[in-house]
Amino acid sequence: MRAPIRWLLSNFSQIKTPSMKNVCTGDQASGISRPRLEVGRFLTKVRNEGDGAVVRRCILSKEFKSVDPFILFDEFDVSAPGFETVTYMLQGALTHQDFAGHKGTIRTGDVQWMTAGRGIVHSEMPVGEGTNKGLQLWVNLSSKDKMIEPRYQDLPKENIKRAKKDGVQVRVIAGEAMGIRSPIFTRTPAMYVDFILKPEANCYQSIPESWNSFVYVVEGEGVFGTLDSASTTAHHVLVLGPGNGVNVWNKSSDPLRFILIGGKPLNEPVSRHGFFVMNTQAEIKQTIEDYLLFQNGFEKARYWRSQPI
């Protein structure tokens, strides 16, 4: 089998469990007092990336300026050989390894949060011959945390908190919903919640008013905000405006699955080059130089080669 694609990942992180009360219910009479409404939408663009990978990508920091601290969101579909960093596996499995000796397999329903910090060289390969699907989210780090040591948090599916009520099912990847809280910790306060609504069900979820938020529809069709809002279909990113939460209805005859993501903005400049994320172009230039010279955290990259599965 051909060797996997290797990626340089630097200076972004994933999600910190917020200290707040989030609520979700299937009760039609309940709702958010100041519901967030749509302020923008984007149909993710299909592109080929790497060898055997099809990606639906939204570069959040480019398409929408109001989604700080989020940088990029992908839905990927990959068959052997491999693809880039995985956050949340929807189907199949990926084996990962890096130049620091970390390795393992992320299977259907599992989550891996990788804090790249000062930088890490990382590779991933699909396991088996079937289709492998998942979601990837990049969350920026504040300038004071840009150069911290890399860190992994692995959350197998059996440890993901979940609840069901009145036709609403929720998996809490980070943050809190329906009275349950995720054990995931990261440095940027945020929430990441996976909802499935049966036909005719509705739910509401509170979001701190100072946070930015967006929705990604994985399957089905839903109405977000108010009952007279336009429906949103699969593969759309829906950016939400100000408010203290979001109301959602499934008025279709099929299940609705969507991801709700929210986070506290950093309000810092963002400079990005490939898989490097810093605050200024000068910092990007220095980071690239560090990688090329195998210094300031990249020393182990000099002789490291990923191993075929």
What pTM, to 2 d.p., does this model score?
0.83
Domain with 212 in it: what CATH number? 2.60.120.10
In a domain, residue 172? The reply is yes
3-class DSSP assignment, residue 135: strand
Can you give the pLDDT at residue 177? 94
> What is the dihedral angle through the alpha carbons of 42, 43, 44, 47, rounded to the nearest 10 degrees?
-130
Can you give the pLDDT at residue 201? 97
The burial class, CB within 10 Å (0-12 / 13-18 / 19+), for 308 is exposed
In a domain, residue 225? The reply is yes
| Domain with 199 in it | 6-263
In a domain, residue 37? The reply is yes
In a domain, residue 227? The reply is yes
In a domain, residue 277? The reply is no
Total domain count, the chain? 1
Cα 115–117–121 angle (5° rounding)? 85
In a domain, residue 289? The reply is no
The burial class, CB within 10 Å (0-12 / 13-18 / 19+), for 79 is middle
CA distances from 15 to 70, 80, 138, 296, 301 (A): 10, 29, 9, 25, 26
In a domain, residue 190? The reply is yes
Per-residue pLDDT of the chain (309 residues; tens, 9 = 90+): 223 333 344 444 444 444 333 344 433 335 678 899 998 888 888 877 665 567 888 877 677 766 898 888 888 775 443 322 436 899 988 887 877 777 878 899 999 888 777 677 767 777 777 778 889 888 888 888 878 777 788 889 999 999 999 999 999 999 999 999 998 886 788 899 999 999 999 999 999 999 999 999 999 999 999 999 999 999 999 999 999 999 999 999 999 999 999 999 998 888 777 777 788 888 888 877 877 777 777 777 777 676 655
Cα 244–247–252 angle (5° rounding)? 165
In a domain, residue 131? The reply is yes
